[in-house]
Amino acid sequence: MLTETDQKIDIKSLTLPELQQVLTDMGEKAFRAKQMYQWMHEKLAGGYEEMSNLSVALKEKCQEKFWYCSLGIVQVQESKLDGTRKYLFALRDGNVVESVWMKYKHGNSVCISSQVGCRMGCRFCASTLDGLERNLTPSEMLEQIYAITKHTGERVSNVVVMGTGEPLDNYDNLLRFLKLLTDENGLNISQRNVTVSTCGIVPEIKRLSREGLQITLALSLHASNDEKRRKLMPIANKYSIQELMEACEEYFRHTGRRITFEYSLVGGVNDTDEDAEELSRLAGKLCCHVNLIPVNPIKERDYVQSEAKRVLAFKNKLERNKINVTIRREMGRDIDGACGQLRRKHIQETKP
């Protein structure tokens, strides 16, 4: 498959064998493909002009035939609390997307967006308020990581697809992105260091489980019964928790990878002792880990965080039920940390 934009081939979304094919069709030697691939995906070249071992003639042919994806940095916000950086990038059609860079003891992690906007409609999330604009190409997903690597001058070791968008709603591009990201001729990031987070599209979870990947699947659960989940997440009207659990079990069976359940605690909504008991019963049946996230309030909705002692009580209850649980350390609280906030603010400020 070739991803075409304006009839030009999106060169950064091609796998190495595909690039070999295209270049040999152009009358070039096959070894050029590997050179160019490494320039793009390993050395993170900003354009053909940096590819010092290519002839001027070939560079010109490439300009003609391909689109070379690159992102413009619109804004960088750095947290004074923990060094987390939030990037706002401009795409070539004028849309903007956001990504986050987080520094941990075990390495640097980047959280990327998979779509411009989102159509999943989760009630507490800022990314979905204006719906879906379009899917991101594999190259646009990669470029978020490449641009941040160049800007920070530091290697990225972990990637989480947890920014704006529903990755499994952009399945083919996501898969191609994962292939390129973990390719030995590119950044060569270990599949085990990549996490894809989904609101729970059951058929796509099942499909993903059969791709032979070693990535971590994170499921945004946020409620432990269907009734409550439907109030928070429209996707719950389509798939029941029972169906979701079966899909997760299938994912574990095929991949051997422990599932992460994300559970955003919303004050008075999903944070009671009974919720914790119900969640324990679900989680107890699977090889999983529960990540509790104090909800990040957005101004468009009146959801509030659970009180700190409620969060602890919730966690203790899960622990007593022998569930593996952590509370997500909040990073970048001072810099519009919640999903989609930075992009939204930018759009509102620049609207004519």
Binding piece for ligand SAH, criterion CB under 6 A, among 2-10, 13-21, 47-55, 291-299: 291-299
Q: Of these residues, 28, 98, 166, 262, which one is catalytic?
A: 98
Residue nearer to ligand SAH on the CB measure, 9 or 126 = 126
Q: Is 339 a catalytic residue?
A: yes
Site string for ligand SAH, 199-218 (x = CB under 6 A): x-------------------
Residue nearer to ligand SAH on the CB measure, 147 or 235 = 235
Which residues, other chains included, contact 335 with Cβ-Cβ below 8 Å and sequence gap of 6+?
Answer: 77, 78, 79, 84, 86, 342
Residue nearer to ligand SAH on the CB measure, 115 or 255 = 115
Binding piece for ligand SAH, criterion CB under 6 A, among 98-106, 195-203, 208-216, 310-318: 195-203
Euclidean distance between CA atoms 331 and 202, whole angstroms = 30
125 binds ligand SAH (CB under 6 A): yes
Buried b (16+ CB within 10 A) or exposed e, 59-83: eebbeeebbbbbbeebeebebeebe
Tally DSSP H helices, then E strands, for the chain.
11, 15
The number of beta carbons lying within 10 Å of the beta carbon of residue 8 is 14
Residues forming a β-bridge with 305: 266
Binding piece for ligand SAH, criterion CB under 6 A, among 133-141, 209-217, 271-279, 290-298: 290-298
Binding piece for ligand SAH, criterion CB under 6 A, among 74-82, 118-126, 207-215, 240-248: 118-126
- The separation between CA 222 and the C-alpha centre of its own chain, rounded to angstroms, equals 18
- Minimal distance, residue 69 CB to ligand SAH, in Å: 22
- Minimal distance, residue 4 CB to ligand SAH, in Å: 26
- Minimal distance, residue 38 CB to ligand SAH, in Å: 31
- Minimal distance, residue 346 CB to ligand SAH, in Å: 17
Pick the binder of ligand SAH from 33, 162, 318, 331 (CB under 6 A). 162
261 binds ligand SAH (CB under 6 A): no
Pick the binder of ligand SAH from 45, 96, 292, 298 (CB under 6 A). 298
109 binds ligand SAH (CB under 6 A): no
Q: Is 277 a catalytic residue?
A: no
Pick the binder of ligand SAH from 139, 173, 197, 224 (CB under 6 A). 197
Q: What tokens were used for 284? A: 């107890």
Closest CA to 292 of 249, 252, 323: 323
Pair 16, 183: CB distance under 8 Å: yes
Q: What is the signed CA dihedral for 219, 221, 226, 230, rounded to 10 degrees? A: -100
Length of the chain: 352
Residue nearer to ligand SAH on the CB measure, 220 or 224 = 220
- CA-to-CA dists, residue 36 to 33, 143, 218, angstroms: 5, 16, 34
336 binds ligand SAH (CB under 6 A): no
Pair 344, 86: CB distance under 8 Å: no
Pick the binder of ligand SAH from 99, 170, 260, 264 (CB under 6 A). 264
Q: What tokens were used for 52? A: 């010092």
Pair 247, 206: CB distance under 8 Å: yes
Binding site for ligand SAH (CB under 6 A): 120, 122, 124-125, 162, 166, 197-199, 220, 262, 264, 293, 295-296, 298, 338-339
- The residues that are catalytic are 98, 339
